[in-house]
């Protein structure tokens, strides 16, 4: 059973009590207390978690590392550095051998910590193990193998992951491969993701993961303007259902918006209009903002004010309807939002001449319905659509 008041004591403002609690945790090697700490992590402020990790690593002694090995049976991404940094602090040949043994006899949790250790300690004896577990079903182990292999510049598993992306028919196997590639994270891996992510049914997950691993400076240095617009659009479309608004500072949303506003082209303007619509809603509704911290609320306000101050032109919106499917879809969102009646004949011609993908054909037909212009659609042409669901949907709009 966890010690009474353990969480209260290890997060105490009383430094004497705080340090005494950490020392007791180390000395007792009480895995129940460590497990409780991991379970309560979401309720502990980030600065307190950092304080706990920093002081644990500072206070632990070499002859107390058995406690760390005991705690390594419980995996926590938030307290991963507590385990790994304690090992790194006393890294030597014997300790490294003991950590290598975890790949043979340890749990998946221990293997995950071991893999992360070798992203700091570059012992070539670990490479075979890292490749062996590179596609583990335990996500932290897979991610940490990728991080370590990247440090060794070993590309065996990376190339295998790329091959899976290009050849596999299993969506879940593919998303697992993308997970590895993203964590591996050299420039080549990032460019591979950008070249191929649109083929996946899980492209939103892939792009969110990309933003999780790489900051504004890295991505904007590597990617073209159009690529930045594309992935940023996917990110903001994921708010607020799949991403908490509390991440807008972490993802540097404001920086991306300011950068994209300098592009001064129709693709960028379309994105900024959709972003403006979404962030206006988030900023004005307590449903979205009531649980945001003060800094996030201020950032949300700054983003909204900046977007509201932009003078966006949509004179070239029709040109976007002749681009790739991604840009067409975004342009249709703008047309719907602004009710641009001057586009309806062009949209109808795209439908009537079979120039749209089926999903975009349906989306276009729904927009024409909202604008009371479905009379422009050729009913005979719709009868030739092979997908019965989409055909039925469009025909229902024509009634």
pLDDT for 349-370, tens place per residue? 999 988 889 899 999 999 999 9
Q: Is residue 81 over pLDDT 90? A: yes
Q: Could you say which of 313, 330, 349 is where a domain stops? A: 313
Are 300 and 370 contained in the same domain? no
Are 234 and 283 contained in the same domain? yes
Are 305 and 355 contained in the same domain? no
| Interval 103-161: pLDDT, tens | 999 999 999 999 999 999 999 999 999 999 999 999 999 999 999 999 999 999 999 99
The string over 307-331, giving b where at least 16 C-beta atoms fall within 10 Å of a residue's C-beta and e elsewhere, is beeeebebeebbebbeeeebbbbbb
- pLDDT for 146: 97
pTM over 0.85: yes
Per-residue pLDDT band for 2 (boundaries 50, 70, 90) equals: low
- pLDDT for 1: 60
252 phi-psi bin (left φ>0, alpha ψ -120 to 50, beta other) = left
The DSSP-derived string for 140-167 is HHHHHHHHHHHHHT--HHHHHHHHHHHH
Q: Is residue 399 over pLDDT 90? A: no
207 lies in a domain?
Answer: no
Are 345 and 302 contained in the same domain? no
Residue pair 158/179 in contact by the 8 Å Cβ criterion? no
Are 302 and 355 contained in the same domain? no
- pLDDT for 153: 95
16 lies in a domain?
Answer: no
Are 308 and 346 contained in the same domain? no
Please compute Rg for the chain using Cα positions.
26
What's the structural domain count of the chain?
2
Per-residue pLDDT band for 3 (boundaries 50, 70, 90) equals: low
17 lies in a domain?
Answer: no
Say how far residue 215 (Cα) sits from the centre of its chain: 11
350 lies in a domain?
Answer: yes
Q: Could you say which of 278, 297, 313 is where a domain stops? A: 313
- pLDDT for 214: 95
Average pLDDT rounded to a whole number, residues 214-238: 96
Are 278 and 343 contained in the same domain? no
Average pLDDT rounded to a whole number, residues 278-290: 88
For residue 367, give its domain range.
339-399
Say how far residue 342 (Cα) sits from the centre of its chain: 38
Q: Could you say which of 295, 313, 331 is where a domain stops? A: 313
């Amino acid at each position: 059973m966890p010690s009474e008041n353990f969480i209260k004591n290890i997060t105490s403002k009383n430094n004497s009590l705080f340090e005494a609690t950490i020392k007791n945790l180390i000395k007792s090697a009480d895995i129940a207390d460590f497990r409780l700490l991991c379970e309560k992590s979401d309720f502990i402020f980030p600065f307190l978690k950092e304080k706990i990790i920093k002081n644990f690593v500072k206070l632990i002694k070499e002859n107390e590392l058995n406690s760390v090995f005991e705690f390594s049976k419980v995996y926590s991404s938030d307290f991963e550095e507590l385990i790994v940094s304690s090992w790194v602090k006393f890294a030597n040949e014997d300790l490294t051998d003991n950590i290598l043994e975890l790949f043979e006899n340890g749990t998946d949790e221990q293997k995950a910590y071991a893999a992360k250790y070798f992203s700091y300690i570059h012992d070539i004896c670990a490479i075979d193990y890292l490749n062996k577990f590179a596609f583990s079903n335990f996500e932290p182990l897979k991610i940490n193998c990728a991080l370590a292999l990247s440090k060794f510049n070993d590309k065996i598993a990376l190339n295998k992951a790329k091959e899976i992306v290009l050849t596999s028919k299993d969506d879940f196997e593919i998303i697992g491969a993308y997970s590895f590639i993203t964590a591996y994270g050299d420039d080549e891996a990032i460019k591979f993701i950008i070249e191929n992510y649109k083929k996946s049914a899980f492209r939103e997950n892939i792009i969110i993961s990309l933003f999780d691993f790489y900051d504004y400076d890295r991505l904007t240095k590597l990617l073209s303007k159009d690529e930045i617009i594309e992935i940023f659009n996917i990110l903001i479309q994921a708010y607020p259902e799949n991403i908490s608004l509390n991440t807008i500072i972490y993802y540097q949303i404001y920086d991306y918006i300011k950068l994209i506003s300098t592009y001064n082209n129709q693709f960028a303007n379309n994105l900024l209009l959709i972003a403006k619509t979404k962030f206006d809603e988030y900023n004005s509704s307590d449903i979205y903002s009531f649980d945001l911290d003060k800094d996030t609320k201020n950032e949300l306000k700054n983003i909204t004010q900046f977007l509201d101050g932009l003078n966006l032109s949509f004179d070239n919106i029709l040109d976007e309807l002749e681009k790739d499917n991604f840009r067409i879809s975004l342009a249709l969102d703008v047309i719907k939002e602004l009710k641009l009646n001057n586009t309806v004949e062009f949209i109808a011609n795209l439908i009537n001449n079979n120039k749209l993908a089926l999903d975009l054909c349906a989306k276009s037909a729904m927009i024409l319905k909202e604008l009371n212009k479905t009379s422009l659609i050729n009913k005979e042409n719709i009868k030739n659509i092979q997908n019965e669901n989409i055909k039925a949907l469009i025909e229902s709009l024509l009634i």
